[in-house]
Structure 1
Amino acid sequence: MNTNFLKLLLADDDEDDCFFFKEAVQGLPVATMLTVVHDGEQLMELLHNKASDLPDFLFLDLNMPRKGGHECLMEIRLSPTLRRLPVIILSTYINPDTEEKLYKSGATHCIVKPPHIAQLKDVIQRELALTVEAVSLPPAKDALPVEVVPTPKST
């Protein structure tokens, strides 16, 4: 992942939220290219058609027409070509049960949309930094491949 230039994808059907997100992204200290889709089917079509050139981050709203965010998240995590895509849930409200389900389904982070552009910019910047840091960390020790050596037979 090139941290000097980030490709962001926003899936959100609310025009005002999309406008605020675009404004917030323009104020980030890193160069970005933002693509916006307005429903879950459009999102999945774009991701499957651009599997060789995926965004660095997906910001996903939960409540969208045609296909909801949770359904998209599950489809992304089941796809071998998409499963490593960082998916940051960005929704107006996330209750604790839903949040738990989203993390179990593979959400990278869950964020409640802040009411002001300055706060949104701070949240986006923090989430990008956290995710870039997590992606660049070495795998956990228990995630490393383990060579199994057969035990010699006793005679």
Structure 2
Amino acid sequence: MTRPLNILLIDDSMTDRYLAEEAFESLDQPCTLITAESGQAALALLDTPDAPLPDVILLDINMPEMNGFDVLAALKQHPQSQMIPVVMLTTSVSEEDITRAYTLHASAYLLKSMHFQAFLEQIEKFIAFWTRARLPTRP
């Protein structure tokens, strides 16, 4: 049996975190979603001894204090998290943001759908892809 996909969502919007939780719960997919309301909270969570590492991180760009690019750079600098795939989940269609995300080694750039049903479909495809693409066991 395949172990559940462990996902960390970093987003300052309580509404967006709640919608993501609803989306993940409504799908019949073996996954675990953990949320963090800021980059600082996510980095502290990942730095906790014996904390399970996520298989993939969903990261919002537009956050106060530490934006998604700052978080992405910090993740890629830390030996424990540098190999974790990071998918930017955002509403920004700015070419500058897309280029910057990939320059900082984001694994993908996913535009948030504004409609819940379409968002559910995005999440379902996201889970299916990363379930197949992840490492079967942690090093």
Q: Quick check: TM above 0.5?
A: yes
Q: Deviations over 1:130-149 (max 9, x none)?
A: 3344446xxxxxxxxxxxxx
Q: Say what the alpha-carbon RMSD is for the aligned residues.
A: 2.1
Aligned to 2:73: 74
CA contact (8 A) 2:55 2:134 kept: no
Normalised TM-score (structure 2):
0.86
Show structure 1 runs of 4+ deviating over 3 A: 131-136
For 1:22, the equivalent position in structure 2 comes to 21
1:50 is displaced (CA, Å) by 5.0
Which runs of no fewer than 5 residues in structure 1 stay unpaired? 137-155
Which residue of structure 1 aligns with residue 99 of structure 2?
A: 100
Corresponding position of 1:151 = none
> Judging changes above 3 Å, is the alpha-carbon distance between structure 1 residues 29 and 4 closer, same or farther for their aligned structure 2 residues?
farther
Distance 1:106 1:116, change over 3 A: same
What is aligned with 2:84? 85
Larger radius of gyration: 1
How many pairs are equivalent? Answer: 136
Change (3 A) 1:79 1:127: same
Q: CA contact under 8 A between 1:9 and 1:59: conserved in structure 2?
A: yes
- Partners of 2:39 and 2:67 within 8 A in 1: yes
AA aligned to 2:20 is: F
> Identity percentage over the alignment?
27
**TM-score, length basis structure 1:** 0.78
